A and B are shown apart, each in its own frame.
Chain A
Amino acid sequence: VPARRIALVPPRYGPEVVGGAEAVIREVAHGLADRGWSVDVLTTTARDHFTWADAEPAGPSVDRTAGGAEVHVTRFPVVKDTPGEERARVDALVQAGDMPTLAEQEAWMNDGPRWPELFHHVLDTAEDYRAIVVSPYMFWTTFAIGGIAPERTLLRPCLHDEPHARFELYEPLLTGSAGVWLQTEPELELYRRVSTPPPQTRIVGEGVPVPDGYDPERIRRELGLGDTPFVVYGGRREGAKGWEGLLHGFAEAVRKEDLDLHLVTYGVGPVDPPADVADRVHDLGFVDDRTRDDVIAAATAYVQPSALESFSRTIMEAWLAGTLVVANGASDVVRWHIDRAGAGLTYADPAELEQALRFVAEAPDQAAALAAPGRRYVLDNYTWPVTLDRMEATLDEWFPA
């Protein structure tokens, strides 16, 4: 095995992919390549996890880092030849609070998009790598690939407190991977509640790039918002991320409290604002990193409505920009960050969200003051050099050359 060769297996990869776990894998790939590792990314041709359509060409390509290093990317095409009925049936069972049997869980896992060519590529080449990093836990790529060579599998699960994490199906992956990278202590606590972490489990955190600067005025000009306060949400707009809850809470607050407040969003997924507040909801679609950072810096608050977070990269981006975080307190991880950072507000229900939005609209200076400690917290804990040091240390310790 070459001394410093590693494979990363995310379900999607590339600058245009929306998803925290996938973004982190790309940054890990770049970071390790810049440090002299030979990095192969083995992934799918998909960009969109709703359709899994082949958006990128299959085969090899090179993703160059800012430092000029090469990340070797190989993409494999999807096979979608099952009706999805079994998957829908099991999802309905889970929604109803029932736990499907192992056989049903296996059928659920395999009744969706699959990548046999990717699977067999790893089957052929697993021993060429010191470690094979799979992430996040729920996807077919992680589950199937993680079982090929568990003795060199490094799982980065990005666990959420959701019924699927308790599926017996995942036990081989969760208990049998040779190493596990976690992001936070609450994720480790959750891991212990749902399974048994293997002996080689470590909290390595993750890094957040620190922008050189921000230009909030540019965004305000482009949006035509003047000095009107707005809150922002970025990422995947879907039920699991709490988008509908945020939209509903925002609309209620605006209607009831007659707030002079707008909601700006970027990312993917349908927006669907209620007609009477549609003129206050602005969708920027997919944006580049620079625009994302400027939007966050221009906002009075970043709202994190998701209860299913394993790290919450976006609240770190908000704190770096000096922007207040208003978060759904149902997420243990986000609450933990906010308590440790001494920055941000949480809400427990729509009524509290309404009041938090009212605070943001009515007291923007106070909101900024509440956000202030957040930047130091991120710089002290979650920058890439520190995170990559931790990751490399585990690679050398668990997978010696």
Chain B
Amino acid sequence: MSASEDHEVPGTSSSERILVVTPYAPWRDGIGAYALQQVRRLRRAGHHVEVLSTKPSAAHHHGDLRGRAGARLLTRLGRRFDRVILHFHPDVVYRLPPTGGSRIDTALAYGAAFRALPHVELRLHEIDHSWAHEPRTAWATKWMLAGAGLITVHSDEQRDQLVDGFGVPADRVELFDHGVDFEPRTTADRAQARASLGLPADEHVFLCIGFVQPHKGFDRAARAFTGLGAAGARLDIVGSVRVTEQQARDHAAELRAIAAREPGIHLHLGFVSDEMFDRWIVASDTVVLPYRHIWSSSVAERAALFGRPVIATDVGGLGHQVEQMASSVLVADNAGLARAMAAAVGRAGAAVAVEPWPAGGGRARVQEEIEARATAARGGAASGRTWSTAAGERPALSAPIRRIGAISAPAPVSARPGVSLVKRLIRRTIYWEIEPISDQVNRLQRATADALDQAEAAAAPTTPPSPEDP
């Protein structure tokens, strides 16, 4: 059974008062973008819809929804509505990192809120299924979920996990069509889209698009693409990097390093508007989703919207999503990904693209290669190695500084009852002073390390010109 936003709650009139609880525009947020389209659809169906968001936004209401206070806010507001649709994500309702105690506390508060309200629908975007197997807290999570009138999920797999893992009655879990609210954001056709993006008209364009994060696996696609540049194909990796996350920055640097050495790979890092997002998809021949893990993919739905075939890894609910899309291919691993991409350009049975390790030279050579690859993945920055190598290579001047790592305020959590609250109060009182200082310390640390690397590179002797040089 598939859920529809327009379904009526038994005993209500056809025009309902609905509260949608979600991150919301104009914040850039995947769930928020999805919810915006849902709100539009519900309002057009004649419902009175208001939005409650976690931060100030275009929503009618906003407030911190984490923990017991968040559940109280939801109850207070939700009572004015016939139906509450809560876009559930752990970051929205749990204080992070969640201790067992706080998880129980939050789950009980939300379970009570769900039961106090006329009808609550949880649109589940993500939940940690390992929680179902933690005896100390699983009962609370199960009790919370059981309080919802309806839980909607993206895939059969997720439905099974809810029913089997959390004991949610099967008749309260429905699938919803992930793409039901999607509308095209561009009017360009393929030729116009390619011309506007500076892409050649005649090459096969593989596209990886979305936030550039390690779990998206764009590096897998880049490695699988090896050699296809010579076959008239190109791989465009398009998306923005969350610059505040060191891991994402390192991943972007790794992609840059791969793109620099592999012909046909083009990196377009930067903010991508909704219109440009769609224009890229229209311009492409094949959309590649090489994810390492994901619940479901909006990119897959947008590819389907424009009739572009997808090559995707079979992870999370992606398999369920993609197997229904015409001309699309599911792969199990890197080798399958390489084969599928090669087949898309008429090169069936291409070799698995594994970067070879040095065969000769022994441990030192392999060690060197490991460090070279790590340096590439680090974006060229020197490593934190503080010792000299066997080959006599001295550590980078910046190494001791890089080993220090970033500083952040400790999480205000404790296993002792009541202490978390006290810590949170203290944090709230002083955080506005502490945060700028820790930010500045981190910036200083990075800037000092970068400056030392640059100074060291500038001081290094340059290679003398070869006698053959003019």
CA separation between A150 and B186, bound complex, in Å?
8
- Contacting residues, chain B, for A123 (C-beta < 8 A): 36, 39-40, 43
Separation in Å of the B281 CB from the closest CB of chain A? 13
- Which of B's residues lie within 8 Å of A, judged by CB? 25-28, 36, 39-40, 43-44, 51, 55-60, 62, 184-187, 192, 195-196, 240, 242-244, 270-276, 432
Interface assignment of A178: CB less than 8 Å from any CB of chain B: yes
CA separation between A144 and B58, bound complex, in Å?
7
- Contacting residues, chain B, for A140 (C-beta < 8 A): 26
Q: Is B58 a contact partner of A124 (Cβ separation < 8 A)?
A: no
Separation in Å of the A296 CB from the closest CB of chain B? 39
Separation in Å of the B45 CB from the closest CB of chain A? 11
CA separation between A144 and B44, bound complex, in Å?
20
- Contacting residues, chain B, for A143 (C-beta < 8 A): 26
Q: Is A172 a contact partner of B274 (Cβ separation < 8 A)?
A: yes
Least CB separation from B59: chain A residue: A116
Q: Is B56 a contact partner of A82 (Cβ separation < 8 A)?
A: yes
Interface assignment of A106: CB less than 8 Å from any CB of chain B: yes
Least CB separation from B244: chain A residue: A101
Q: Is B56 a contact partner of A110 (Cβ separation < 8 A)?
A: yes
Given A110-B56, A114-B57, also A173-B273 (CB < 8 A) = yes
Kindly identify which residue among A109, A116, A150, A168 contacts B271, using a CB–CB cutoff of 8 Å.
A168
The residues in A between 54 and 110 inclusive whose CB is less than 8 angstroms from any CB of B are 81-82, 85, 101-103, 106-107, 109-110
Interface assignment of A199: CB less than 8 Å from any CB of chain B: yes
Q: Is B270 a contact partner of A171 (Cβ separation < 8 A)?
A: yes
- Contacting residues, chain B, for A151 (C-beta < 8 A): 184-187, 275
Q: Is A120 a contact partner of B43 (Cβ separation < 8 A)?
A: yes
Q: Is B40 a contact partner of A124 (Cβ separation < 8 A)?
A: yes
CA separation between A311 and B376, bound complex, in Å?
46
CA separation between A150 and B28, bound complex, in Å?
14
CA separation between A102 and B51, bound complex, in Å?
23
- Contacting residues, chain B, for A148 (C-beta < 8 A): 25, 36
* Secondary structure type dominating chain B contacts: loop
- Contacting residues, chain A, for B39 (C-beta < 8 A): 120, 123
- Contacting residues, chain B, for A384 (C-beta < 8 A): none
Given A82-B56, A119-B58, A124-B40, also A101-B275 (CB < 8 A) = no
CA separation between A387 and B59, bound complex, in Å?
37
- Contacting residues, chain B, for A178 (C-beta < 8 A): 187, 275
- Contacting residues, chain B, for A173 (C-beta < 8 A): 273
Q: Is A114 a contact partner of B58 (Cβ separation < 8 A)?
A: yes
Least CB separation from A174: chain B residue: B273
- Contacting residues, chain A, for B244 (C-beta < 8 A): 101-103
Given A102-B242, A199-B196, also A110-B27 (CB < 8 A) = yes
Q: Is A176 a contact partner of B274 (Cβ separation < 8 A)?
A: yes
Given A103-B244, A147-B26, also A176-B57 (CB < 8 A) = no
CA separation between A257 and B55, bound complex, in Å?
56
- Contacting residues, chain A, for B270 (C-beta < 8 A): 168, 171
- Which of A's residues lie within 8 Å of B, judged by CB? 81-82, 85, 101-103, 106-107, 109-111, 114-116, 119-120, 123-124, 140, 143-144, 147-148, 150-151, 168, 171-173, 175-178, 198-199
CA separation between A107 and B29, bound complex, in Å?
13
- Contacting residues, chain B, for A101 (C-beta < 8 A): 243-244
- Contacting residues, chain B, for A199 (C-beta < 8 A): 192, 195-196
- Contacting residues, chain A, for B43 (C-beta < 8 A): 120, 123-124
Q: Is B271 a contact partner of A175 (Cβ separation < 8 A)?
A: yes
The contact sample of 7 A-B pairs, CB cut-off 8 A, is A109-B26, A110-B57, A119-B58, A123-B40, A151-B186, A168-B271, A199-B192
Q: Is A111 a contact partner of B56 (Cβ separation < 8 A)?
A: yes
- Contacting residues, chain A, for B187 (C-beta < 8 A): 151, 178
CA separation between A190 and B27, bound complex, in Å?
26
Separation in Å of the B199 CB from the closest CB of chain A? 13
CA separation between A144 and B244, bound complex, in Å?
23
Separation in Å of the A319 CB from the closest CB of chain B? 38
CA separation between A175 and B273, bound complex, in Å?
7
Q: Is B55 a contact partner of A116 (Cβ separation < 8 A)?
A: no
Kindly identify which residue among B26, B184, B271 contacts A171, using a CB–CB cutoff of 8 Å.
B271
CA separation between A116 and B57, bound complex, in Å?
8
- Contacting residues, chain A, for B276 (C-beta < 8 A): 172, 175-176
Kindly identify which residue among A110, A124, A150 contacts B275, using a CB–CB cutoff of 8 Å.
A150
- Contacting residues, chain B, for A111 (C-beta < 8 A): 56
CA separation between A5 and B382, bound complex, in Å?
59
> Which has the most chain B C-beta neighbours within 10 Å: A85, A110, A199?
A110
Given A150-B273, A176-B274, also A114-B184 (CB < 8 A) = no
Least CB separation from B192: chain A residue: A199
- Contacting residues, chain B, for A115 (C-beta < 8 A): 58
- Contacting residues, chain A, for B271 (C-beta < 8 A): 102, 168, 171-172, 175
Kindly identify which residue among B26, B51, B184, B274 contacts A110, using a CB–CB cutoff of 8 Å.
B26
Least CB separation from A105: chain B residue: B28
- Contacting residues, chain B, for A172 (C-beta < 8 A): 28, 271-276
CA separation between A151 and B185, bound complex, in Å?
5
CA separation between A148 and B33, bound complex, in Å?
10
CA separation between A106 and B184, bound complex, in Å?
25
CA separation between A114 and B275, bound complex, in Å?
24
Kindly list 8 other residue pairs between chains A and B, CB separation below 8 angstroms, not including A103-B244, A106-B27.
Answer: A102-B243, A102-B271, A110-B26, A140-B26, A147-B26, A150-B275, A175-B276, A199-B195
- Contacting residues, chain A, for B25 (C-beta < 8 A): 119, 144, 147-148
CA separation between A255 and B47, bound complex, in Å?
68
Q: Is B28 a contact partner of A102 (Cβ separation < 8 A)?
A: yes
CA separation between A182 and B60, bound complex, in Å?
33
CA separation between A110 and B57, bound complex, in Å?
6
Separation in Å of the A103 CB from the closest CB of chain B? 6
